[in-house]
Chains A and B, each alone.
Chain A
Amino acid sequence: MSSLRNGIFATLIAFAVTQAGAASGTSGRTADGKPDFGGVWLVEKPQKEVKTTAGKAPPLKPEAAALYSKRKQAVAAGEDADDPVGLCLPHGVPRLLSAPRPIHILQKPKQITVLYEANHQARMFYLDEPVPSGDNMPDPTFNGASVARWSGDALIVETVAMNDQTWLDDVGLPHSEALKVVERYQFDGADRLRVNITVTDPETFTAPWDMQVVYKKQPGLRFKEDPCSEKFWHPGKESGG
Chain B
Amino acid sequence: MRRIEGSSLGVYRTPLGLGVLFLTLAGIASAQGAGTSQSAGQPATGQAAAAKAASGPPSAATSAAAAPASEAIPNPRDFDGVWWTPGYDRKYRTLDGQLPPFTERGRREWEAIVKADERGEPVADAPTGCLPHGIPRLLASPYPIQIITTPGQMTWVHEVNRNQRWIYMDEKHPPNLPKTYLGHSVAHWEGDTLVIDTVGLNDKTRIDEEGITHSDQLHVVERIRKIEGGKALENLITITDPVMFTQPWTTKRIYRARPEVRIMEYVCEENNRNAPENGVTKAK
Tell me the A residues contacting B by CB distance below 8 Å.
8-9, 12-13, 15-17, 19-26, 30-32, 38, 87-90, 104, 106-110, 113, 115, 119-122, 124, 126, 141-143, 165, 219-220, 222-225, 227-230, 232-241
Q: Does B61 contact A (CB under 8 A)?
A: no
- B157 x A115 contact (CB < 8 A): yes
**Given A20-B8, A124-B263, 14 other A-B contacts at CB below 8 A?**
A8-B18, A17-B12, A19-B32, A22-B32, A23-B4, A23-B31, A24-B151, A25-B151, A30-B39, A87-B269, A89-B269, A104-B155, A113-B148, A225-B182
- What band does the interface of chain B fall in when counting residues whose beta carbon is under 8 Å from A? 35 or more
**Contact A235 to B164, CB < 8 A, known contacts A23-B28, A113-B157, A229-B130:** no
Bound Cα distance from A219 to B116, whole angstroms: 49
- B18 x A12 contact (CB < 8 A): yes
- A19 x B279 contact (CB < 8 A): no
Q: Report the minimum CB–CB distance from B71 to chain A (whole Å).
A: 28
Q: Report the minimum CB–CB distance from A226 to chain B (whole Å).
A: 10
Q: Does B280 contact A (CB under 8 A)?
A: yes
Bound Cα distance from A113 to B82, whole angstroms: 13
- Choose among B181, B204, B281 the residue that contacts A235 (Cβ–Cβ < 8 A): B204
Q: Report the minimum CB–CB distance from B3 to chain A (whole Å).
A: 9
- A120 x B124 contact (CB < 8 A): no
- B107-148 to A contact mask, C-beta < 8 Å, 1/0: 000000000100001111010011110000000000000101
Bound Cα distance from A160 to B31, whole angstroms: 38
What chain A residues lie within 8 Å of B5 (beta carbons)?
Answer: 20-21, 23-24, 26
**Contact A241 to B267, CB < 8 A, known contacts A9-B18, A31-B39, A31-B40:** no
Bound Cα distance from A222 to B155, whole angstroms: 12
- B162 x A229 contact (CB < 8 A): no
Q: Does B265 contact A (CB under 8 A)?
A: yes
What chain B residues lie within 8 Å of A126 (beta carbons)?
Answer: 262
- B230-268 to A contact mask, C-beta < 8 Å, 1/0: 000000000000000000000000000000001111011
